[in-house]
């Protein structure tokens, strides 16, 4: 069984993002993520995201991994 849920919620110049997924079976696991975009202009935004993986599907030692990223996007 696999299922996921996600959402993007705009609030002015800010967009909040969240997601969660679950995989059940012989090799199970879960994924989650939170993030946001802040639009400086129509073509430039700042972003930050954090997410995690847990379960035997993603990690043979069944430990939780947490990752993040931050940056700037400019569209030409």
DSSP line for the chain: -EEEEEEEEEETTEEEEEEEEEE-SSS-EEEEEEEEEEESSSSEEEEEEEEEEESTTT-TT---EEEEEEEEEE--
Q: Pick 63 or 74 by higher pLDDT.
A: 74
Tokens of 73: 């996007």
- The pLDDT, as a whole number, for residue 65 is 83
* Confidence (pTM): 0.78
Confidence of residue 61 (pLDDT cuts 50, 70, 90): low
Its sign, for the CA torsion 34, 35, 36, 37, is negative
pLDDT recorded at residue 40: 97
**pLDDT exceeds cutoff 80 at 29:** yes
Longest dimension (CA), the chain: 47
Decide if pLDDT at 63 tops 70: no
Mean pLDDT across 18-22: 95
């Amino acid at each position: 069984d696999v299922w996921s849920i996600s959402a993007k919620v705009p609030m002015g110049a800010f967009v909040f993002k969240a997601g969660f997924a679950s995989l059940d079976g012989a090799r199970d696991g879960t994924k989650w993520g939170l993030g946001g975009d802040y639009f400086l202009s129509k073509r430039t935004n700042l972003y930050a995201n954090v997410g995690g993986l847990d379960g035997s599907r993603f990690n043979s030692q069944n430990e939780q991994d947490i990752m993040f990223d931050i940056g700037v996007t400019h569209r030409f």
